[in-house]
């Protein structure tokens, strides 16, 4: 493995700007495709084939890619899965990254079923934000959606995160006919807790057989119904953090409601991210199945950091507008891979 230090001139020349004028400052890294849940919108009836262990990028390889990305202007990294805590010693990777880059905005997306007792350790390491996937507050429904009776572990983890000072976002996949009846519960949760509750439109990923028009619950419909339950105020610039969610304050509430609209209202023009899959592939766009094999480069001792950085930059230059790709596809073919393999 060859490590080199990039000069200031090289850093400038390797800025991650594409042909549409968008600049990347955000990297999402899937550290595993394994997950302990079997969610209805991810796990298919015929089971799932996982990536062979030898093809999963190591923590050291992830750290090397983060080092390169930071030198090219990335300031925010999100660790995803699968389920990050399903991979052994996940906290060791976080410590490794933040020890090298203490100013890095390092975040996690997790189902929170395996993180009881870990919130304080995350905060002590320097993590400030965490996204927790939660589609229902009903125990039986949680088991039906995820295949596991683990709702209490999730709610306990949320409490621990808030007690440890972590900023919490709740990611809820909007499923008409499944969790739309719980909208009042989610709105009340955001009213009573300092969290962002964000509804994400259901996307048909990886030939997911459960997606159809009858269970698609659009953000516009959710907002209309939520507006009957609380006074929502659109946040002005400066009141919200950057990201794909359209965020609204709740009058008299501690938290906020957000809506992420990959299907009905695209945010491609402001996309600022790249993705690294669990097997070390660079994916410039969620809706594009085109990937660049970085893992093989990382394991070739004759290839330098500058070589890899140049490949990442050149791949990003041609980063497509996802909305154009989506228009050319059938609606049930957003991407060939499941979200656990791409990085949720």
Pairwise pLDDT comparison (318 vs 49), residue with the higher score: 318
Whole-angstrom distance, CA of residue 218 vs CA of residue 225: 11
Whole-angstrom distance, CA of residue 119 vs CA of residue 111: 13
Q: What digits encode the pLDDT tens for the residues 285-339?
A: 888 888 999 999 999 999 999 999 999 999 999 998 876 766 666 555 555 565 6
Q: What digits encode the pLDDT tens for the residues 89-140?
A: 999 999 999 999 999 999 999 999 999 999 999 999 999 999 999 999 999 9
CA torsion sign for 227, 231, 232, 234 is positive
Supply the pLDDT for residue 14: 65
Decide: 74 and 24 in contact? Cβ < 8 Å. Answer: yes
Q: Mean pLDDT lowest for which of 57-66, 189-198, 329-338?
A: 329-338
pLDDT over threshold 80, residue 213: no
Mean pLDDT computed over 177-185: 95
Q: What does DSSP say about strands 273-276 and 292-293: parallel, antiparallel, or unpaired?
A: unpaired
Supply the pLDDT for residue 214: 72
* Rounded (5°) CA angle 151-156-158: 100
Q: What is the pTM of this model?
A: 0.89
Count of residues in the chain: 344
Q: Mean pLDDT lowest for which of 7-16, 266-275, 278-287?
A: 7-16
pLDDT over threshold 60, residue 239: no
Torsion of CA 14, 1, 278, 283, to 10 degrees: 20
What is the homologous superfamily of the domain 8-342 according to CATH?
Aldolase class I (3.20.20.70)
Cβ burial of 122 (10 Å; 0-12, 13-18, 19+) is buried
Supply the pLDDT for residue 244: 77
What share of the chain has pLDDT > 90, as a percent? 70
pLDDT over threshold 70, residue 12: no
Q: What does DSSP say about strands 256-260 and 281-283: parallel, antiparallel, or unpaired?
A: unpaired
The candidate with the shortest Cα–Cα distance to 32, out of 145, 117, 108, 129, is 108
What share of the chain has pLDDT > 70, as a percent? 83
CA torsion sign for 132, 261, 190, 184 is negative
Mean pLDDT computed over 172-186: 95
Supply the pLDDT for residue 291: 94
Q: What residue spans define the domains of the chain?
A: 8-342
Q: pLDDT tier at 77 (50, 70, 90 boundaries)?
A: very high
Cα Rg of the chain (Å, integer): 20
pLDDT over threshold 60, residue 151: yes
Mean pLDDT computed over 62-69: 98
Give the neighbor-by-neighbor strand order of the sheet with 105-110: 232-234, 246-250, 256-260, 195-201, 167-174, 129-133, 105-110, 76-80, 26-30, 273-276, 281-283, 292-293
Mean pLDDT computed over 155-175: 97
Q: What digits encode the pLDDT tens for the residues 257-269?
A: 999 887 666 778 8
272-302: burial string, b at 16+ Cβ within 10 Å, e else: bbbbbbbbbbbbbbbbbeebbebbebbeeee
Q: How far is CA 66 from the centre of its chain?
A: 16
pLDDT over threshold 60, residue 155: yes
Residues 6+ apart with CB under 8 A from 98: 104, 106, 125, 126, 127
Supply the pLDDT for residue 220: 92
């Amino acid at each position: 493995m060859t490590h080199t230090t990039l000069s200031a001139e090289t850093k400038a020349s390797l800025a991650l700007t594409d042909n549409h004028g968008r600049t990347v400052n955000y990297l999402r890294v899937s550290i595993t495709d394994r997950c302990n849940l079997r969610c209805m919108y991810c796990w298919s009836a015929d089971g799932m084939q996982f990536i062979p262990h030898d093809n999963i990028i190591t923590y050291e390889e992830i750290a090397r890619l983060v080092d390169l990305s930071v030198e090219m202007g990335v300031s925010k990294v999100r660790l995803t899965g699968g389920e990050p805590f399903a991979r052994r010693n996940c906290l060791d990777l976080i410590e490794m990254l933040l020890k090298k880059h203490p100013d890095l905005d390092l975040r996690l997306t997790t189902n929170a079923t395996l993180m009881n007792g870990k919130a304080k350790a995350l905060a002590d390491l320097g993590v400030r934000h965490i996204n927790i996937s939660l589609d229902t507050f009903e125990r039986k429904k949680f088991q039906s959606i995820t295949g596991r009776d683990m709702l209490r572990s999730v709610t306990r983890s949320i409490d621990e995160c808030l007690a440890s000072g972590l900023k919490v976002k709740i990611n809820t996949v909007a499923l008409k006919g499944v969790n739309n009846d719980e909208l009042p519960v989610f709105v009340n949760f955001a009213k009573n807790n300092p969290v962002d509750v964000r509804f994400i439109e259901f996307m048909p990923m990886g030939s997911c057989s459960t997606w159809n028009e009858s269970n698609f619950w659009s953000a516009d419909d959710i907002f209309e119904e939520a507006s009957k339950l609380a006074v929502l105020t659109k946040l002005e610039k400066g009141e919200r953090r950057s990201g794909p969610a359209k965020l609204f304050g709740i009058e008299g509430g501690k938290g906020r409601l957000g809506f992420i609209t990959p299907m009905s209202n695209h945010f491609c023009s402001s996309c600022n991210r790249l993705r690294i899959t669990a097997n070390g592939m660079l994916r410039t766009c969620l809706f594009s199945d085109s990937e660049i094999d970085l893992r093989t480069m990382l394991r070739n001792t004759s290839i330098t950091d500058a070589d890899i950085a140049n490949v990442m930059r050149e791949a990003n230059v041609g980063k497509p507008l996802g909305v154009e790709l989506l228009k050319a596809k059938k609606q049930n073919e957003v991407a060939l891979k499941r979200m656990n393999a791409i990085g949720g």
